[in-house]
Structure 1
Amino acid sequence: MKSIKLNRKTKHAYTINMTETITNQLKSLPLSPGVYFFKDAHGVILYIGKATKLRSRARSYFLKSSDLSPAKKIMVDRIASIETTITSNEQEALILESIMVKKHKPAFNVSLKDDKSYAFIKIDYRYPRPVVTTVRRPAFDAGRSKAKYFGPYTSGGTLYENLRILRRLFPYRKKSKKLTIFETELEKKRSLGPIPGNDQEYADMIAKLIRVIEGQSDEVIGDLKKRMQDLSRKKQYEKAAAVRDQIKNLALIQSRQKIMSMRGGSQDVISIYLKDDQAAVNVFVIRAGNLINKLNFLLQHTAGESMTTLVEVFLTQYYSEASNVPRELVLPVRTNLKPDDIAALTPERTTDKISISIPSHGKKRNLIKLGEENAKEYLAQSRAKWERASDNALVELTTTLNLKTEPKRIEGFDISNIQGHLSVGSMVVFIDGKPDTKQYRKFKIKTVTGSNDFASLAEVLKRRFSSQKETKWPNPDLILLDGGKGQLSTVIKTLFPRHPERSEAESKGLALLPNQFIALAKREEEIFQGAELKKIELAPTSDASRLLQRIRDEAHRFGQKYYHTRHTKAGTQSILDEVPSIGPKTKKLLIQKFGSVTSIRNANKNDIIKLIGEAKTKTLLENL
C-alpha cells in the first residue's frame, strides 16, 4: 500500500514514499524567496523553479492534493535531493531562475528551443566611432558593459539583408581599425547617405540608426528633413541632396512595414499555438504603430503544461535577453508575472513603465489570433523541416555506421526504475525517422533483482527477439540503447554468444549483426557501436545525432511513463492481485464480504465457496 504521511501541524498528506533525505530536507527548507533545484540520485538537475516561500513551494510537489502534469509526476518519482539558493526578493528569484535554466537546461523545465542560434545587433561603444556588428548569445560577450544590443532576431538572413540596406543609409563601421584610403572611397561610392566628417557627426548618425532599429523612423525622417532644409539654406546643395536620398530610401523601408496598431503604439503581441505536446510562439514587435519584426520560437518539454505556464516561461526567458522592451505587452492569458518583474528581467533593467493587457475582443485580440495562425504555420514548417532532416539523418547514419542498408526501422530501448524498484523496459520504434507509436512496447523486468540496468536491458532485448516468431515483429535495421559501453557490451554478449562453428548472428537465429547495435550515452552524447565498442565520431548538432537523441529521449519518456503507471498501481495493490484466476470483480467481492486478506484467511471455507465457487476457493487458499 502506498504510504501517506500526514503532517499534523500543516494538515498536508504526502502522497509518495519519500526518502528520509527528502523528508528532512523539506522540513529544513527556509520560508524565504529563492530558487530550488530538484536533483536525481546521480546529482543531475531535473528541474529549477522559483518561489516566494521555498519550503511551501517545494513541499507542494509531494502533496496528495497537488495537480501535477504527467511529466511532473514522473519527475517527482526521481527526486533524490533538493537544493536551494535564497534571494532577497521575488524579482531576484525570477532573474536567478532564468539564468540557471539557461545554464543547466533541465529535462523537466519548459524552455526555448535552440535559443543559442538567435542573432543580435551589437553596437560597441569602446571605440571613438562605435562599431556595429552581429553576435549570438550576448550574455557571454566580453564587451557587454560597453555595448548596446538589439534583438533577438530569429531569421539571420532577414537581419543581414536589413543591415546591408541600413549601412548604405547610415555608413557605420564594422571594424574598429582606421579605414584605408580604398575603403574610404568605396564607402563614399556605396553610401546613399552623407558620410560623417568627424566623431560627433558619426555619433549623431549612430543615434539615428538606433532610432530606426527601434521603429522610430518617422522621427528620424522628420529630423532629416529639417537637416536637408538647413543645408539648402546654407547652399550646401551636394550634402542636401545626399540627405534627400537618405530620406527617400528610409521612407521606402518604412513603407514595407505594415501598420498593425492604432495611435503609434509600442507593443509586443505574444501568441502561442500548442499541438501534440509541441508549442510554437509568435511575437509581433510593433513600434510607433509599425510592425518592425515578426519573431517565431519553439518551446520544448511542454507536455501537460498549461497555456499560462507556457506564456510565463516564454516571457521569463525571452525578456532576459530581448532589447527594446515595449510599453505594452499583449498576452493571450493572464500570468503571475507583474510589469515590474518583466522590467527587472531585461538586460538593461529598464525603468520605463510597462503595462500588460489580456484583450478579450477588438483589434488587440485579433492580433493575438493572427499571431496564433503565424505560430501554427511556423510549427508546420518546422515539422516539415524535421522530416527533411530525418531523411538526411538516415543517409548520414548509413554512411557513418557503415550499414549495408539505410536504417528505415530503428528501435530504441531504455530501462526505468528507482533503486531497482519496479523496473521496466521500453521499446520505441521510428520508421523513416518518425515515431510509430502503435509499435511501441513495454516490458516488466522479471529475471533481474535490484538496480542493474545492464542485465535489465539484456533481458528486454533477449525477450524481444526470442518471441519474434510469435509476435511477428519485423527485424530492425538499427538498435539504439540508452547507455554507454557497459550496456552495449552486456546486450551483445547476451544476444551473440560465441560458437566456433557458427557466426554470432546465426547462433541466435537473428538476421542482425553486432554492428547494428549502438549505444548513446547521456552526459557527453557519445556513441558506441558493435562488439568492439567502437566510438563513433558524429557531430552532436548533425541531423543524424539529433535523430538518435530524439529516439533515446522518446524511449526514456515512454519508459518513465510506464514506470509511473506501475508505481501508482503498486501503491494500491494487494496480495490478491498475485493469485491466479482472481480478477478485479472477484477481488471486490472478497474485500466487500470479509474486509481484509487476514479475515479471508480466517474465514470459514464454505463461506468463501458460496461467494466465489469451489475451484476459485481452492486456488485462493493455496496462495494465501
Structure 2
Amino acid sequence: MDEKKTETLAELEKAQENIRNKLALLPDLPGCYLMKNAAGTIIYVGKAKVLKNRVRSYFTGSHNGKTQRLVADIRDFEYIVTGSNIEALILECNLIKMHQPKYNVLLKDDKTFPYIKITYEAHPRLEVTRRVLKDKAKYFGPYPNAYAAQQTKKLLDRMYPLRKCGVMPKEVCLYYHMGQCLAPCEKEVDPAEYERITQEIQSFLSGGHEEIKKELQRKMEEAAEELYFERAKELRDQIMNIDAIMQKQKITTSDAKDRDVLGFAVDKGWMCVQILYMRQGKMVQRHASAFPFYGEAYSDFMSFVTQYYSDNPALPQEILLPDSGKDAEGSDKAAGETENGGDVLDAHSAAASLQEWLGVKVLVPQRGQKRQMVGMAVENAKVSLDEKFRLIERDEERTLKAAANLGQYIGIEHLHRIEAFDNSNIQGANPVSAMVVFIDGKPDKKEYRKYKVRTVQGPDDYETMREVIRRRYERVLKENLEMPDLIVVDGGKGQISAAVDVLENELGLFIPVCGLVKDAKHRTAQLMVGDPPEPVDLPRDSQEFYLLQRIQDEVHRFAISFHREQRGKSMVASKLDSIPGIGEKRRKLLLKHFGSLKKIKEASIEDFRPLSIGDKLAKQIIAALRDEES
C-alpha cells in the first residue's frame, strides 16, 4: 500500500513540474486544449480564444466545485492551434464526440452540428439533419449555428419549389398555391427541372450565395424606401442568417471524405511532421512526430511520409501535402533551394509518385479550403517543434544548474556522476536492491544495475545496503570502472553509516555518501551528509531539492519493478511446485509451452499430451490451479 502511495506522489510531483513548464510556453493563439489524467486518458476538452490565458486559468486562483475536481485530476495537457474561434468550436465538438471526456458532461449527448441535405429521391426535398449517411444525398456543412441552418433552409424553401412534405399527399397543398412546390403529388415533373433546382441550391450552398445576398439587399432597400419595415426586417434577418451559416470552415469539410492533412516544420536540425486526421469530413485527431533530419528538408519529409504509409494499411481517401516552398517548411530559406541555388524535390512530382504507389488521391493544394487546412497542419508543426526546443532548453538549463548547485551544498567541487541505491522486500521475502546513475543531473539508463540480495536473511536494510555497496564497488575497482562523485542511499544515518563503513574500512574508498530521508507521507523530506551524518539546509522549493526527488523516485521505481518481477516468478514457481509430480524441469517445460499460469489453467487435458504429461497428471495440474484461484 505504501509503495503504491509513494509512486503516486512521485508521479504527481513530476506531472506538476511538467505542467508548469508547458504553461510557460503556451501560445497567444486560438485553439482547443485536452486535459489528461495520470493514466493519459483525456478527461476534458475545451476551446479558447487565447490558449495561454485559458489554460493557465485552471492552475491559478480559486474555482467552483466542478472545476476543482477537474483540476485535481489533471496530470498533463496538450493543445491544437486553430485559425479562428469558430474552428476551435467545431474541433472541440469533434474531439468530445471521439474521446467522450469525463468532465464534458453537458456535451456528451449524441448531438452533432447540423447539415443541410438535398435528399436522393425521385422528388427531392431539403432537410436539416445531424446525421451523414451513405445514401447518395448531397450534404452541406456541418454548421456551428443550428438556428441559422434552419432559417437558411426556410429561405431556400421559399426560393426553390422542392416538395416540403415527408409523405406525398393526395392533393396539392398550400405550398403549391404559394409557388413553393411543383406539386409532384398531382403533376408530372420533368427530372431535368429537379436537376436544375438542385444545381442552383448546390451552387448557393457552395459559395454562390453572394449573388442571392445582393438581390436580398436590393429588395430590403426597396422595402425600406416604401416604408414596408416589417418586410425589410425579414429580409435583413435572412441576409444575417446567410452570413452566419456560410462561414468558411477549415476544420470541417462538406464532402464527408476521409483525408489526412500533413504539414511540417524544421529548426535546429530537427523536423516535426504533423498529421491532421479528417474522418467523415471532420477533424477528429492529430499525430505529431519530431526527429532529427540530415538531408534536404522536403526530401526527408517525403521519406517520412512514404515510410508512414507503407506501414499503415488504413489509407484515407485523400492525402493533402504542403508545397516544397517557404510557407510549407517554415524556415527562412525556401525548401526548393539548396545552398548553391539548385533545384530539389518537386512537391507535385512527389505527390504524383505517392499517389501512383498508394492508389489514393494525393494533392498539393495551392489555394482555397484545402490550402488552409495544410497551413493549419504546418502551423501546428511549428508550434510543436518550438515547444519541444524550449522545454529541452529549460530542462537542460535547470538540470545542469541544479546538479552544480547541489555539489556546492554538499561540498563537492564538480558533481558529474551520481549513483543511487534503494532496497526492496516484503517482510524479508525476495530481497533485492537497485542502482541508478545520473550524469549531470540526467538519468543514464544503460548504467542501471539490479541486485539479488544473497547473504541477508530477513528485512535487514542496513546489512542489505552493506552487501550491495560491497558488491558494486568491488567490481568498480576490479574492472577499473568510472567512480561516482556522490553516492545516494535511500535512508538516514543507519544506511549512510553502513555504506561509509564498507567503502572506507573494507575497500579504502573515500566517496561522499548522502542519504535521502522521507517524511510520514513517503515524500523526500531531508538530505543528510557527512560522518556523522548531519542534515543539509536545502530549500524544499529549489531545483536542487527537486533533482534529489527525481533521483529518489527513479531508484525506488527501478527497485520496486525488479522486486515485483522476482516476486512474480517466485509465485509462479511456488504454485506449480506445490503440485505432486511437477519438478523444476516440468515446471520450466510447462511455462515455456503455455507461456503463463493463466493459459495452463485454461488448457484442456489434450493440450498436455505433446509434453508427455498423462491425462491423470494433467487433471491434477488443472484442478490444483483452479482450486487455488477459487
Fold conserved between structures, TM > 0.5: no
Q: Which has the larger radius of gyration?
A: 2
Q: With the length of structure 2 as denominator, give the TM-score of the two structures.
A: 0.41
Q: With the length of structure 1 as denominator, give the TM-score of the two structures.
A: 0.41
